[in-house]
Structure 1
Amino acid sequence: MADAQGTARDAQTEARKEREKEELYALDISGVEWLGAPGTEEHEERVEIAHLPGGAVAMRSSVEPGTVLRYTEAEWRAFVLGARDGEFDLEPAPHNGGLPAE
């Protein structure tokens, strides 16, 4: 019985996540403000983000501004925390918050 309840909960969670994604991609983002990293200029090749309702975030490359990825608040939080922990570093580095080794 417990396994059936767990399976039903998993299916409900997946359905909710799918619905959230559909709603996120249905948003009209034509008027959002795109932000780049501090110190970069609009004409530079850079990654840009825009804050969306409900804590969601849109991300694009300045090279291909028509291709926009959208992330729920939970997805964006997981990404940012992973980046801070070095999960996406191109070279192996100690997981010390990005600080230089002593």
Structure 2
Amino acid sequence: MISPEELAGVAWHISSKSPDGGGQCVEAGPLNDGTGRIALRHSRRPNAEVIVYTRPEWEAFITGAKNGEFDFS
């Protein structure tokens, strides 16, 4: 579980491809703890659950997304 203090300084980012300015999107940002972990949350529920990924997990996801592995349409 991640504490509110750990999330306090996260610089959240929303995709520029978000259709409505971020209201129906996810936000991601690096934790400021020196570990390289990335936090992920829903933009409409900023105070709800947060998922935290290690740097290798995040990089694997980004690489897969760039390679089309998550193009489900």
What's the RMSD between the two structures over aligned residues?
Answer: 2.1
Q: Identify the residue that residue 37 of structure 2 maps to in structure 1.
A: 56
| Aligned residues with identical type, % of pairs | 36
Q: Which amino acid aligns with 1:34?
A: W
Number of residue-to-residue matches in the alignment: 67
Q: What's the TM-score once normalised by structure 2's chain length?
A: 0.73
Matches for 1:23-102 after TM superposition, within 5 Å: 25=2, 28-38=6-16, 40=18, 41-42=21-22, 44-52=23-31, 53-65=34-46, 66-91=48-73
Query: Hey, which of these two has a bigger chunk of helix by percent?
Result: 1
Runs of 4 or more off by more than 2 Å in structure 1? 38-42
Q: Which amino acid aligns with 1:87?
A: E
Structure 2: unaligned runs, 5 residues or longer: none
Q: Which amino acid aligns with 1:70?
A: V
Separation in 2, partners of 1:29, 1:37: 19
Q: What's the TM-score once normalised by structure 1's chain length?
A: 0.55
